[in-house]
Chains A and B, each alone.
Chain A
Amino acid sequence: MATEKKMFLEALRKKFKESPEEKYTKFYIYDGWKQSKRKQEFVEWGTKLAKERGIPFYNPEMHLGGIPLGQRVLMPYKISQTDIYCEGDDLHFVNNAAMQQMWHDIRRTVIVGLDAAHMVLQKRLGKEVTPETVNHYLEILNHALPGAAVIQEHMVETHPGLVADSYVKVFTGDDELADEIDKRFLIDINKEFPADQAAQLKAAVGKRIYQVLRMPTIVAMTCDGGTMSRWSAMQISMSMVNAYKLMAGEAAIGEFAFAAKHAEVIEMGTLMPWRRARGPNEPGGIPLGYLADMCQASRVKPEDPTWVALEAISMGAVLYDQFWFGSYMSGGVGFTQYATCTYTDNILDDFCYYGADYVKKKYGGFGKAKPSWDLIKDIATEVSLYGLEQYERFPALMETHFGGSQRAAVVAAGAGVAVSLATGNCTAGINGWYLSQLLHKEEMGRLGFYGYDQQDQCGSANSFSYRSDEGLPFNLRGVNYPNYALNVGHQSAHTGIVQAAHSGRGDAWTTNPLIKIAFADKDLKFDFTHPRLCFGKGALREFMPAGERSLIIPSR
């Protein structure tokens, strides 16, 4: 049983030479940054490049007036539920190509329904739309979307070698129609999902047909999220003109453009208000439930909903904590050190599986109990106290999560995920999270930092609130929800609390079936079925991203 093995012990033994139960150690003897191979590499490059550029550069002796990092063990990190160990530096998104690609794959995606365009073609223009014409249109769009011309006679275009990851596919809930679509363009729901999930998804999509468009990663890297629906809309409209032999500029084209730019578009993230101003398809506008649906763990291992939630949590940590809060909102590099706590060293895994086992034993399985005060109090208290007791039993564990916000996030995540699993209700799950935070604060007499604690001291009151200024169904909350706008260290686990509720009861998706299907795509560069493994490959420098530029730059 996971709960008896303590999943985190193996990692703790690799991180520190003393036993995980040992309370005493030695400090100041590790030769600072020199104990780290990665820091040694940084120094080598920093020294070389400082000479080349003639401006001082990376120099760890600048740290604390000559007291470098590494006065204690600079510990390695195990990527949870993998065999991969890496250094903390390898988990900063700048140093990890897989993390970059996860974000780029999300940002460069838009979904655009085809039905409105087909209606215009058939009813307004009297054109025939058949599976053959759809296939023809998709072939044209696969030429045009990466950045090629389709109706102009003198036009600049993009180098295919730079934009090879850009394409369009479609999906539908109609098996007959799907059969007629060229397989090169189809996201086949029957093939990608287990049968029960496929049935749920097809019922939700019905006879409609949707395009999933991936703009080039290099565009995602150089422009913003708001670019994507514009880029796709332009190429869709041009391809329609070509495929259906339309007049360029006739009134009906305006309707294609409106459908492609607005009416039929599903962005991955919504616009944000001025104080956090970003366009659509930026991390801050992506609801928790959308991110959970982008994660594809639920279709490859549906029998283990705890694992599914943990995979979704890792994506939340990277996207919300490392990209959004860590860079978009705060700047600096500190948030990575903090955010890794939810996906390294099997610690949250241990707490979540403890909660899952407790739920199975006491409540007869997942999604079987109705939310109630007795249940929330029982499960959230038990899992929270279990987590806190592990930190106190194993000083090496406490040292691993050396910031209080890390411990608060991980303990409360265990509690929230367990309540979600038990009830299949993520609003109950988030309420369990908030009870956990209050218990943690009183038990240890400490929690996180000012801004961290503030969210959790008022969280109980907004967990069931639907008032306009503070309420929203939990699936639709995210970092754009007012109380979560400063909520670093929370949204990763919140993604998992949403996911656990739905995977616990066997749902094929959490919030939006279209998003779930759109990311069931083997041609994406990032592997959304195993995000933690993928981040680990990025850490080991074994992940090959898109965004190629070597074709247009001098060779090294």
Chain B
Amino acid sequence: MTTYKAQYYPGESKIAKNRKKYMDPSYKLKKLRTISDDDLVKLMGHRVPGEAYKSVHPPLEEMGEPVCPIRELVEPTPGAKAGDRIRYIQFTDSVYFTPLTPYMRAWMGHTRYRGVDIGVLSGRVPLEMRERDLEKVAKELVETEIFDPARCGIRGATVHGHSLRLDENGMMFDALRRFVFDKKTGEVVYVKDQIGVPLDKPISVGKPIKEEELREMTSEYRVDGVPFRQDKEMIEFVQRLHMLRTEAGFDPNKVKGI
């Protein structure tokens, strides 16, 4: 019997390779910047640094859970064990060569993290988890190569900006102006948390990644980057998927040789 090896994604282009790479949990995301634990907690705005985690139920150990084979199979995450609230971090990713697109952000989250609930919209991706688990994951999401300070935004509400042109500093639009470009340092600085509450002190998330580098890192096909038309394997994969779904919906017996 052959061993199953996950392929993660079809396609033969650089974009397809980046998609595979980000989704493959054995690939270690490159760390590009450091955000302190406290600053990250402030950016998310769910609790004050140092404050105890609020809980929605007693620790699982104290709850006397029923005998259940699923519970035996699945090890609870630390946040679930402790009974933490479910909290969120939400990202907006510009259409201009950001490392992750919304679906990539979701698929990557599902292949890399446990206990995560991710939604996908064109302009934002909410990621919900038990609070202490979230803080751990959020750190990787903000500190590594999948985050560009100028073209990715941490935004709880009034998220819009993904499809708008960039400002004169190359920053994505944000009606709440949660982040600003510091011309002196060349860094992007958050002055409000993700929901728009002003921060006591600005928090730097580092320098924007240069566009030429983003073009290498991006997982988005674009006609002015790597055009989708050129990835024939990718197009044929989608067409085949559509044909199989269509034929199965009409008459499942028609579908053969999958």
Contact = CB atoms under 8 A, between A and B. Distances in A.
A145 B140 CA distance: 71
A399 B165 contact: yes
A434 interface: yes
A171 B170 CA distance: 64
Given A446-B103, A464-B250, A64 B196 contact: yes
B163 to A, nearest CB: 5
Give 10 nearest A-B pairs by CB, closest first: A404-B122, A445-B101, A461-B249, A460-B245, A464-B250, A389-B223, A449-B121, A443-B228, A446-B102, A465-B249
Interface of A: 18, 22-28, 64-65, 67, 71-72, 373, 377, 381, 385, 388-389, 392-393, 395-396, 398-399, 401-405, 407-408, 431, 434-435, 438-439, 441-450, 453, 460-466, 470
B229 A385 contact: yes
Contacts of B175: 64, 67, 71-72
Nearest to B220: A445
A22 B165 contact: yes
Interface string B126-170: 000000000000000000000000000000001010111111101
A527 B238 CA distance: 42
Contacts of B57: none
B6 interface: no
Nearest to A431: B246
Nearest to A398: B163
A404 B246 contact: no
Contact of B166 (A23, A373, A445, A470): A23
Contacts of B158: 64
Contact of A460 (B168, B196, B242): B242
Given A438-B242, A462-B249, A393 B224 contact: yes
Main SS class of interface, B: loop
Contacts of B102: 445-446
Given A388-B228, A438-B242, A399 B164 contact: yes
Given A64-B196, A435-B242, A444-B95, A25 B122 contact: no
Contact of A402 (B96, B163, B238, B248): B163
Nearest to A378: B239
A67 B168 CA distance: 21
B17 to A, nearest CB: 14
B214 interface: no
Given A405-B122, A439-B238, A450-B120, A393 B223 contact: yes
Interface in B14-46: 19
A27 B167 CA distance: 7
A477 B243 CA distance: 22
Contact of A444 (B121, B221, B235): B221
B173 A72 contact: yes
Contacts of B250: 464-466
B123 interface: yes
B222 interface: yes
Given A65-B196, A445-B219, A25 B167 contact: yes
A439 B235 contact: yes
A482 to B, nearest CB: 14
B250 to A, nearest CB: 4
B16 to A, nearest CB: 10
Nearest to A432: B242
Contact of A463 (B95, B164, B170, B246): B246
Nearest to A435: B242
Contacts of A470: 249
Given A404-B163, A435-B239, A24 B168 contact: yes
A448 B122 contact: yes
Contacts of B239: 377, 381, 435
5 contacts: A64-B175, A67-B175, A72-B173, A403-B163, A442-B238
Interface string B238-258: 110111011111100000000
Given A381-B239, A460-B245, A461-B249, A64 B176 contact: yes
A385 to B, nearest CB: 6
B122 A464 contact: no
Contact of A26 (B168, B223, B247): B168
Contact of A404 (B123, B219, B245): B123
B119 interface: yes
- Residue of B167, B239, B248, B249 ringed by the most chain A CB atoms within 10 A: B249
Contacts of A464: 246-247, 249-250
Nearest to B225: A392
Given A442-B238, A461-B245, A23 B96 contact: yes
A396 B95 CA distance: 13
B186 interface: no
Given A24-B165, A447-B122, A438 B104 contact: no
Given A28-B177, A388-B223, A402-B160, 5 more contacts: A24-B166, A389-B223, A404-B162, A442-B228, A470-B249
A444 B224 contact: no
Contacts of B227: 389
B95 A398 contact: yes
A410 to B, nearest CB: 13
A442 B16 CA distance: 10
